[in-house]
Amino acid sequence: MANVLVCIKRVPGASGQILLTEDEQAVDARHVGWTVSPHEECAVELAIQVAAATGGAATVLTVGSSDALEQLRDALAVGCAGAVLVEADTQHFGPVDVAESIADVVRAHEVAGTTYDLVVLGNDAADTGDFQVGVRLAYALERPVLTGISTCEIDGDTVVARGDGPDGLEVFEVPLPAVVAVMEGGVSPRYPSIPGRMKAKRAPVETLTDSRKPVGSGRVRLKLPPEQPSQVEILGAGADAAPAVVDLLVKLGVVAK
């Protein structure tokens, strides 16, 4: 039996145009709402699958404000058995602060009798692009870590994980307990049903408080890349455009001369 802890983060939803806050430290979500990243949707699904395959349970955790209860309950609605909210003012938190906060929960639960054989996270944060939490968490817990993973399974005292490498599929085997950072695409996340949402609405959520003095991220600002202008070339109108279309297809190598 393997218990799995999956960590998620409340992030702004995707939109056609990304706006930054006035201090350029975060993404402005006033017009797009909140969600979790695609990496973490897959991490939740993978955690549920791994736990179910071994007769264990998946627990979801987030570090942030009480607003993140929405995302925790979404994870409960699709199959997580428990949820933990670590309330903290994360505006000035960096990856090391988040990792230490998660590590504190893992240690406290272990003392209370619940151990997590596997901790699963998204590979990076959708809003700030931080790739560090998984590695820093593994360092804090003195566990092996794998990043960029698509799928994983537990075989005895080992986690077998797969991910895309520069030369194709890579397979890793590390001893438990371990930390795995998940990329999207390896599994298809399930989405909450109405009965699932109703059940999750009534489920208890363990709430803790983290009032640590944050180390911070060292981030000065976020920067949006300049928009790439699109160009349109009109080849002609009606039958007169046919020769230009043929010339373009030849130029592109779609048809032979």
Short-list 173, 191, 184, 36, CA closest to 123: 184
Q: In CATH, which superfamily holds the domain spanning 4-209?
A: HUPs (3.40.50.620)
Q: Are 5 and 120 in contact (CB under 8 A)?
A: yes
Q: What is the pTM of this model?
A: 0.80
Instruction: Name the 3-class secondary structure at 4.
Output: strand
Low-confidence ranges of the chain (pLDDT < 50): none
The owner of tokens 């190598």 is: 253
Q: What is the C-alpha to C-alpha distance for residues 140 and 123, in angstroms, rounded to an integer?
A: 17
The owner of tokens 């993973």 is: 149
Strand partners of residue 11: 35
Cis, peptide link before residue 177, omega less than 30° from 0: yes
Q: Are 174 and 158 in contact (CB under 8 A)?
A: yes
Per residue in 67-108, pLDDT (tens digit) is 999 999 999 999 999 999 999 988 788 899 999 999 999 999
Please give the pLDDT value at position 163.
93
Please give the pLDDT value at position 124.
87
Q: Are 65 and 49 in contact (CB under 8 A)?
A: no
Short-list 50, 52, 13, 47, CA closest to 30: 13
Strand order in the sheet with 145-149: 145-149, 178-182, 118-122, 4-8, 58-64, 82-87, 206-209
Task: Kindly list the domain boundaries of the chain, sorted by start residue.
Answer: 4-209
Please give the pLDDT value at position 71.
94
Please give the pLDDT value at position 144.
97
